[in-house]
Amino acid sequence: AQSVTQLGSHVSVSEGALVLLRCNYSSSVPPYLFWYVQYPNQGLQLLLKYTTGATLVKGINGFEAEFKKSETSFHLTKPSAHMSDAAEYFCAVSPRGFKTIFGAGTRLFVKA
């Protein structure tokens, strides 16, 4: 069975500080991994995804994530937070493209 765990329902950082959102997954087959972002009053949009190949994946707005198979993790980072990064972030796993499963989400707050 596949599952996704996001550590921390809320994360607060200061503007300019490192953003780290944690995601661990379980999958019986090599998975595809995603981060989606949801801005207020909007639907989810793709931030980045890992399929195969290079384990460090770069996404939009300066975000990146690293697939670590040994740790079954896919943590999302950004070196310097901006006020516009305040949103809810969802990690998701798709076992070879079938029935994507979403984590519970992490709400990111950015303090001025």
Partner 1 sequence: DADVTQTPRNRITKTGKRIMLECSQTKGHDRMYWYRQDPGLGLQLIYYSFDVKDINKGEISDGYSVSRQAQAKFSLSLESAIPNQTALYFCATSDSVDSTDTQYFGPGTRLTVL
Binding stretches for partner 1 (CB under 8 A): 9, 32, 34, 36, 41-46, 49, 51, 90, 94, 96-100, 102-105
Minimum distance between the CB of residue 105 and partner 1, rounded to whole angstroms? 5
Q: Which uninterrupted H or E stretch holds 15?
A: none
Q: Which is nearer to partner 1, 28 or 41 (CB)?
A: 41
Minimum distance between the CB of residue 106 and partner 1, rounded to whole angstroms? 10
Q: Which is nearer to partner 1, 39 or 80 (CB)?
A: 39
Q: Which is nearer to partner 1, 43 or 112 (CB)?
A: 43
Q: In what order do the strands lie in the sheet with 64-68?
A: 3-7, 19-26, 73-78, 64-68, 56-58
Q: Which is nearer to partner 1, 17 or 101 (CB)?
A: 101
Distances in whole angstroms, Cα of residue 56 to Cα of each of 4, 68, 93, 107: 19, 9, 16, 23
**d(C-alpha 70, C-alpha 7), whole Å:** 18
